[in-house]
Amino acid sequence: MNKDKQHEDQKYITGLLENNSFVIKSIYDKFAPKVINYIRNNSGDYDRAQDVIQESLITIFNQASQQNLKLTCPFDAYFFLVCKRKWLNEIKKTSNKEVTISDNDVSINEEQMAIETLIFEDKQSLFNTMFQKLSDTCKNLLKKTFEIKSMEKVAESLDVTYAYARKKKSLCVKQLTQFVRESSIYKQLMS
Amino acid sequence: MEEQNIIFDNYLMGKMSADEIADFEKELTVDDDSLKKDFEIYRDLQMYLKHEIGNKEQNEVFKENISNISEKYFSDKKENVRKLNSWHFLAIASSIIVAFGLFLFTNPSKPSYSEYAIHDNISLTVRGDNHEQLQKAEAEFNNGSYEKANYLFSKILQSDSVNTEIILYKAISEIELGIYTDAENSLTEISKGKSAYTDQAKWYLALSKLKQEKYDECLQVLNTISEGFEKQKELEDIIDRLE
């Protein structure tokens, strides 16, 4: 299959984006059993499987909302790989055991898509941590900027001049960018 | 750096002239990739903040919906395991009795609408500012008050006439109320489109035919539903019983 061609299973991604309950239920009915089976056979239980599936779906929703997530392989294979790798990473973290992740039986296309989703998830969590590191003034200003959108109104709501709000926003974004660029996690993710 | 962020911003917001875009993109490809890295971090952060803060409400609605569906799906599974563990033999014995009973009662009669028209609780997607109306419609539908739900769906469609999700649920209410022509017109329209609801629409179109005992037409529609449809089991069941 052409690697760049959108797969017909894109409908699941669209359904998640639209928060379509029918589609979400069908994802559970069709694709969850395989993941549950895998996790239960690899030191996990129903509760852990429930968390992994739910977190993976939220990550896919976030990725699709922020980037143009184009599915080029069947959703089944992609979703299973995302959940499987997520679970293996978790075992690795909690048990300090060396876990080798190798997927000999999957195509490069599926693997690539799943890896991108997991890198995306790690980046989101890093962005969140770094955002929390900002000063309260910066956090507040950025929150207002993205809530209200118009910089004039942001300035008004904070009782500062437009020029000051804009300059301060730029400084806060600069600070945040710097935190991210200098973090060892980011360097690792980008290597 | 501040200057740089403004340039990034202008590029992302489409505020550059064609020449400026060309210059900027050329700069991104030079050997030293520090500008490119800075730009990528800036772009990803902007998207992250826009999504996490700007769409906060929408994200919360999604997470709540996923959490409800997940809870329901897993509570059934966990319940089954508990039952199996303690009542293993009794469960098997009683399921044989139930299966035998069902066989006696249902075979060889034709399938009926009420056996398959089990509507799960719906949770509508909020678009625009019609929040209250949607909640009311959702509650009436989940309550089985299809007449009231149908009325509310019509109201919502007056201001949001292309909302496929609402058109679908309105059609389901209409089947319940016996307004077949309107329901089937809407469902046929959805099933020809490219939304995520095409198979759902076909499924309900088939159920509408089944309710009217138009068995041949029901079969015809069922055979057009994609392989792997979420109600594949029920679908095959109806086909088996009709053929």
> Are A20 and A99 found together in one domain?
yes
Asked if the bond preceding A33 is cis, omega within 30° of 0, the reply is no
Same domain, B192 and B81: no
**How many domains in chain A?**
2
Q: What range does the domain containing A55 cover?
A: 10-122
Cα dihedral value B78, B79, B80, B84, nearest 10: 100
A1 assigned to some structural domain? no
* B168: nearest Cα among B207, B129, B136, B216: B207
Same domain, B84 and B11: no
Task: Give the number of A-B residue pairs with CB atoms closer than 8 Å.
Answer: 117
Counting every residue, how long is chain A?
191
Out of B6, B51, B125, name the one closest to residue A65 (CB): B51
Instruction: Tell whether the torsion through CA atoms of A180, A184, A186 and A187 is positive or negative.
Output: positive
List chain B pLDDT tens, one digit each, 243 residues: 557 888 888 888 888 899 999 988 888 888 677 888 888 999 999 999 999 999 999 999 999 999 999 999 998 777 776 665 665 555 555 665 566 555 555 545 788 887 788 777 777 766 556 677 788 888 888 778 787 788 888 888 877 788 888 888 889 988 888 888 889 988 998 888 877 788 889 989 898 988 888 888 888 888 888 877 778 888 888 888 888
Of A15, A20, A50, the CB nearest to B74: A50
Amino acid found at B31: D
Cα–Cα distances in angstroms (integers) from residue A140 to residues B23, B45, B59, B173, in the given order? 35, 16, 20, 46
- Residues of the domain holding B93: 57-107
Of A24, A149, A173, the CB nearest to B65: A24
Domain count, chain B: 3
Same-domain status, B119 and B34: no
CA distance A189 to B40: 13
Q: How far apart are CA B133 and CA B131, in angstroms?
A: 6
Residue B109 DSSP class: S
Question: CB contact, 8 Å: A173 with chain B?
Answer: yes
**pTM: predicted TM-score of the whole model, two decimal places:** 0.63
HSE-CB of B167 using CA atoms within 13 angstroms: 24
- CB-CB neighbors (< 8 A) of B37 in chain A: 181, 190
Is residue A190 within 8 angstroms of chain B, CB to CB? yes
A151 touches chain B (CB under 8 A): no
- Residue A108 sits in the same domain as residue A147: no
Let me know: does A53 contact A35? Beta carbons within 8 Å: yes
